[in-house]
Every structure is written in C-alpha cells, then in structure tokens.
Amino acid sequence: MRKFEVLLKEANDDLERGNLNKAVSALYFAVRKRLECILLILRYEVPRRDDKLANVLKYLGYSEESKIFIELYELRKKADYSEELISKEEAKKALEYATRILKILEKLEERVK
C-alpha cells in the first residue's frame, strides 16, 4: 500500500470515528503525497510551499483543482492550528475536495507512467 493510500484509509477511519480534525489533516496529506509522487515521476522539483504546489497543478492544466487544493490546505490549517474545531460540514467538504483531486491525479499518473 502506498503512503497516500494509507493516509486516505486513516482519514476515512477518523471520519467514521468522528475525529474530524485528524481526518481533514490526513485528507490533505493524502492528496499532497500523491501529487508529490507524480511530480517525481515527471522529474519535477517538489515545492515545499503549498501555494507553489497548487501552482504546479495549475501549470499541469488543472486550474480548478489547484483552487480546491488551496481550499483543502486552508481546512488543514484550521484542523491543525486553529482553536476552532472542524465541523461535520467542513470535513465533508474536505472529503469531496480530496476525492475530486485524487481522481484527477489517478488519471494523470496513468498517463505519465
């Protein structure tokens, strides 16, 4: 099992248990890890900054997913650093964002392998 798959499984387990902050964080890192793997296949440098990573998505032709990635990142920051808790609605939105981006990345990885 690849790292992004482990993170995605952990996120789903946390969602089922009601650990919404942990789930949102794991969803973000599942997407990030999968994108990083694809960039390595393409022999691109992996940016450390999240906004730069989103720009790579945009450069690859996925401008809408780039925006969604930034929104997912903002939810991850709230989950990890804010005094506010992630709501069920926000966790659901994070799952939708991650699922959408991961589907795109799956297709992209199939093309570049």
Radius of gyration (C-alpha) of the chain in whole angstroms: 13
Distance CA 88, CA 36 (A): 28
pLDDT at site 113: 82
pLDDT at site 22: 98
Where along the chain do its domains lie? 3-112
Cα distances from 26 to residues 15, 21, 66, in angstroms, run 10, 9, 18
Pair of tokens at residue 110: 């199939």
**Lookup result for tokens 């900054």:** 49
Whether the CB-CB separation of 15 and 95 falls below 8 Å is answered with yes
> Taking all residues of the chain, what is their mean pLDDT, rounded to a whole number?
96
User: If you average pLDDT over residues 79-88, what whole number do you get?
Assistant: 98
pTM of the model: 0.95
Task: Give the CA angle between residues 80, 53, 38 to the nearest 5°.
Answer: 110
Distance CA 78, CA 18 (A): 16
- 10 confidence band (pLDDT: 50, 70, 90): very high
Which CATH code of 3.30.1600.10, 1.20.120.330, 3.30.1110.20, 3.40.50.150 fits the domain covering 3-112?
A: 1.20.120.330
Give tens-digit pLDDT for 43-69: 999 999 999 999 999 999 999 999 999
Whether the CB-CB separation of 35 and 56 falls below 8 Å is answered with yes
- 4 confidence band (pLDDT: 50, 70, 90): very high
Share of the chain above pLDDT 70, in %: 100
Pair of tokens at residue 82: 């804010």
